[in-house]
Structure 1
Amino acid sequence: MTSSKASHELPDLDLAFEADDGLAGELLAAAGDLADPIAGAELWHQRINQWLSAMAPELPAELQAPAFSLGLSLVGDSEIAELNSDWRGKSGPTDVLAFAAQDDGLDDAPPIPMPDGEEDALELGDIVISLETAARQAPDHGHSLPEELLFLATHGLLHLLGWDHPDDASLAAMLRKQEELLAGTNQR
């Protein structure tokens, strides 16, 4: 199946966004609207929709859909460290985790139920970003905190879309794609 979707057409997106309200106020303020429950949901929806639209021509057939569903959460180090330990067997916090619903190995799993009226939405999974880790590493990357959050979100989204980086060459390709997505939405 090929996509007839032009790059300017935006897919329908059901985005579940949350920012842990227990995070330090100065971190939430530094993240700006991207951590705001209302404004952030709208901004993230717009960005992720643009990124999905830009990626549409190169998505494999099994990821071609008129609508997508995914979750994005901004959490603290303790929550992401727990997820990192439970799901990856690694101790300590990390910057971003992606839990892909359309992963190889899930072929025999029952279909993910969708709310009424969203039968055509393809569930991609969840992206979890540690706001605390992002804030610590942003200066090392030459980013503001909002820029770092967008960078990490593109990384998580690419993982949901099947990208991985088991070696230096694939990591370099993934980083280039992230830069392309960010440049395409004028966020850098």
Structure 2
Amino acid sequence: MTVDCMVEDPRWAAIEDLAQVATDATLTRLGLEPSVFEVSVLACNDARIAVLNEDFRGKPRPTNVLSWPSAERGAAMDGEMPVMPQFGPDNELGDIAIAYDTCAREAAEAGKTIGDHTIHLLIHGTLHLLGFDHERDRDATLMEGLETEILGKLGIADPYRNDTGHQAS
């Protein structure tokens, strides 16, 4: 996988390595060869992502991660797998933006390392680039299950469960 990182906020010192781990693990899990695909990552702060969130989603506030797929790949039926990209002349999957302030705050609130939370958010963003979504119930179940499985293979705890093993609300 080629990950092109644009670092606007210097607090994102390790973003390139984290992005590589997250995108490679996601593509590998889905049976795709990571070396033939490309993703761009913007590592920014809350002020920048708030502008992007308003411009593209009409929500004038910061968020943790945003993604822009290069093509529509979503599943027609709730809970079905999206159409996976094929190796071809354009192997750009899309763009991801991630905000340091929100990521760091969420990690601290959840008692996680910022590295683990960043990998989770980048896996989440990569799945969006591949057509996964969480708007419909079964789509959300599929996406969260994949996130949990990929994170588990990386030795990172299930982000959707609390310390007692119950689903987080």
TM-score range, shorter chain: 0.7 to 0.9
- The one of 26, 51, 56 equivalent to 2:26 is 51
Amino acid at match of 2:130: L
Cα gap change, 1:65/1:175 in structure 2, threshold over 3 Å: closer, same or farther? closer
Amino acid at match of 2:40: G
In structure 2, stretches of 5+ residues that fail to align are 75-86, 158-169
Superposition CA RMSD, Å: 2.6
The 10-residue stretch of structure 1 (40-49 or 149-158) with the greater mean CA deviation from structure 2 = 40-49
User: Considering only CA atoms, is the larger Rg found in Structure 1 or Structure 2?
Assistant: 1
Identity among equivalent positions (%) equals 30
Asked if 1:179 is matched to 2:154, the reply is: no
The match for 1:17 among 2, 5, 14 is 5
CA distance in 2, matches of 1:184, 1:174: 16
Asked if structure 2 preserves the Cα contact closer than 8 Å seen for 1:66 and 1:121, the reply is: no
Give the whole-Å Cα distance in 2 for the aligned partners of 1:137 and 1:66: 31
TM-superposed deviation, 1:68 = 0.4
Instruction: Please state if 1:75 is matched with 2:44.
Output: yes
Matched with 2:161 is none
Q: Which runs of 5+ in 1 are unaligned?
A: 1-12, 29-34, 58-63, 106-117
Separation (CA, whole Å) in 2 of partners of 1:162 and 1:75: 24
Residues 78 and 177 of structure 1: is their aligned pair in 2 closer, same or farther, counting only changes over 3 Å? same
| Letter of the 1:53 counterpart | T
Residue pairs, 1:132-151, within 5 angstroms: 132-151=101-120
Deviations 1:52-111 (A, max 9, x none): 111127xxxxxx886101111211011100000100111111111000002269xxxxxx
Question: How many angstroms apart in 2 are the aligned matches of 1:173 and 1:76?
Answer: 29
Q: How far apart are the structure 1 equivalents of 2:28 and 2:51?
A: 33
Contact 2:2 2:35 in 1 (8 A): no
Looking at structure 1, the residues matched to 18 and 142 of structure 2 have their Cα atoms a distance apart, in angstroms, of 26
Which amino acid in structure 1 is aligned with residue 30 of structure 2? Answer: M
Give the distance between the partners of 1:179 and 1:154, measured in 2 at CA.
10
Which runs of structure 2 are paired with 1:20-35 in the superposition (5 Å)? Answer: 20-21=8-9, 23=10, 28=11, 35=12
Deviates more, 1:177-186 or 1:45-54: 45-54
TM-score (norm 1): 0.67
- Pair 46,66 (structure 1): closer, same or farther in 2 beyond 3 Å: closer
Q: Which runs of 4+ in 1 moved over 4 A?
A: 118-121
- Residue deviations 1:121-159 (CA, integer Å, cap 9, x gap): 511001111110111111333321111111111110110
